[in-house]
């Protein structure tokens, strides 16, 4: 079973949500899924680019109102 953890970056603006996600990913085991909660409108695109540059997998991203829920799997 895949471990999932949550990083709450609501209330933070670019680039802080990605910085918080990167710090959380660094502490997790390979294959762990991190759910990033963010309300910065740029967060989804920032995470997409960050994943591409660092080899992590963007699993999905959903927006509900102002809040984004972005799931990323740490590279193995």
Active site residue 14: yes
C-alpha 59/C-alpha 36 separation (Å) is 11
Query: Of the residues 12, 14, 35, 61, which is catalytic?
Result: 14
Per CATH, the architecture of 4-73 is what?
Answer: 2-Layer Sandwich (3.30)
The residues, ordered by sequence, that sit 6+ positions from 37 with a Cβ below 8 Å of its Cβ are 6, 7, 8, 9, 10, 67, 68, 69
Cis peptide before 15 (omega within 30 of 0): yes
pLDDT value at position 1?
65
pLDDT digits (tens, 9 = 90+) for 6-63: 999 999 999 999 999 999 999 999 999 999 999 999 999 999 999 999 999 999 999 9
C-alpha 33/C-alpha 12 separation (Å) is 21
């Amino acid at each position: 079973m895949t471990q999932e953890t949550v990083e709450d970056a609501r209330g933070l603006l670019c680039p802080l949500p990605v910085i918080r996600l990167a710090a959380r990913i660094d502490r997790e085991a390979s294959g762990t899924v991190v759910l990033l909660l963010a309300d910065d409108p740029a967060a989804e695109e920032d995470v997409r680019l960050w994943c591409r540059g660092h080899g992590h997998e963007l699993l999905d991203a959903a927006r509900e109102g102002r809040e984004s829920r972005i799931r990323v799997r740490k590279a193995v």
